[in-house]
Amino acid sequence: MPAQTSTLPDLSTVAADLSVPEITEGPPAAGKRVYATASGWENTRVRHSLYLPVGWQPGGAPLPVLVEYAGNGGYRNAFGDACDGGVEGCRLGYGISGGRGFLWLCLPYVEPHEDGKRNAVKWWGDVQESKRYCLAAVRETCARYGGDPARVVLCGFSRGSIGCNYLGLHDDEIAALWRAFICHSHYDGVSERWPYAGADRASALQRLARLRGRPQFISHEGGTGAIEAWLNSTGIEGAWTFMPIPFRNHSDAWVLRDLPERARLREWLARALE
């Protein structure tokens, strides 16, 4: 986090104009956010959330899909920002779309557990299992609910932002899913001190090479200088858009507010999906 972040205003000074729907049990329907489990994981504790937008109808025109990963659980800072690490706390996809025009998936990281498998609230769990779950959930959602497989966008906050490259570009198979990426707060390769295998810059560079010119929107509270410096050092040509968030909070809640930065992100996304 940039040193000057603490001098910036708090997000609480701007009223939210959007409220993320609670996740409920039951079948998917327009305007509802529900729990779901990908085929093959029904007998586990693994599940994701699915939101079908207002106005969604079976058999309608294919819709773009926002796929989101959450930050690490157990996080709280001096400003009251917190993250529980679960799909329940995801907000980016709803704020970006306003609940309209996009399917929205919040996916888990999958870890083994003594009674099977479950959602991991810190870091990646079993990376290969998390990847397999992602592939299955995205493909099923597109097939069952009219998602357009040519317009799938990966987004994430904090751990999820790192995961846009760490998981989303982990190998050629999963990298082929994505049209564009939205990375808020942190970025794969900037720090080699994160506690997982492959956090080193040489590994991050291998993942980054799979981006192959696709657009990424990269934001961070206070500023994006460290991320820009890392990307400039790689020698890789990228379609990167950088945007500082003028608030002190390590949080994705800025997308729930009528801010110029949210408008800019929505405009960028519309262009990326043309």
**Domains of the chain listed by start with CATH number:** 32-272 (3.40.50.1820)
pLDDT at 138: 98
Confidence of residue 10 (pLDDT cuts 50, 70, 90): very high
Q: Is 11 helix (H, G, I), strand (E, B) or coil?
A: helix
| Identity at 140, one-letter amino acid code | E
pLDDT at 207: 97
Place of tokens 């083994």: 112
Neighbouring C-beta atoms of residue 89, cutoff 10 Å:
17
Confidence of residue 114 (pLDDT cuts 50, 70, 90): confident
pTM of the model: 0.95
- Tens digit of each residue's pLDDT (9 = 90 or more) over 17-32: 999 999 999 999 999 9
**What percent of the chain lies above the pLDDT cut of 90?**
94
**What percent of the chain lies above the pLDDT cut of 70?**
99
Q: Is the pLDDT assigned to residue 7 strictly greater than 90?
A: no
pLDDT at 113: 87
Q: Mean pLDDT of all residues in the chain?
A: 95
pLDDT at 235: 92
pLDDT at 261: 98
Binning the chain into helix, strand and coil, the percentages to the nearest 5 are 30, 25, 45
8 A C-beta contact, residue 10 and residue 249: yes
pLDDT at 3: 43
Place of tokens 């704020």: 95
Q: Is the pLDDT assigned to residue 2 strictly greater than 70?
A: no
DSSP E strands, the chain: 33-36, 48-51, 63-69, 75-76, 82-83, 103-106, 109-113, 116-120, 147-157, 180-184, 215-221, 239-245
248 Cβ contact list (under 8 Å, min separation 6): 5, 6, 7, 8, 9, 10, 79, 221, 222
Across 108-117, 228-237, 246-255, least confident range: 108-117
DSSP 103-151: EEEEPPEEEEETTEEEEESSTTSSHHHHHHHHHHHHHHHHHHH-EEEEE
Q: Is 157 helix (H, G, I), strand (E, B) or coil?
A: strand
- Tens digit of each residue's pLDDT (9 = 90 or more) over 193-207: 999 999 999 999 999
Q: Is 96 helix (H, G, I), strand (E, B) or coil?
A: helix
pLDDT at 268: 98
**Averaged pLDDT, 142-167:** 97
pLDDT at 263: 98
- Tens digit of each residue's pLDDT (9 = 90 or more) over 30-57: 999 999 999 999 999 999 999 999 999 9
Q: Is the pLDDT assigned to residue 1 strictly greater than 50?
A: no
Q: Is the pLDDT assigned to residue 269 strictly greater than 50?
A: yes
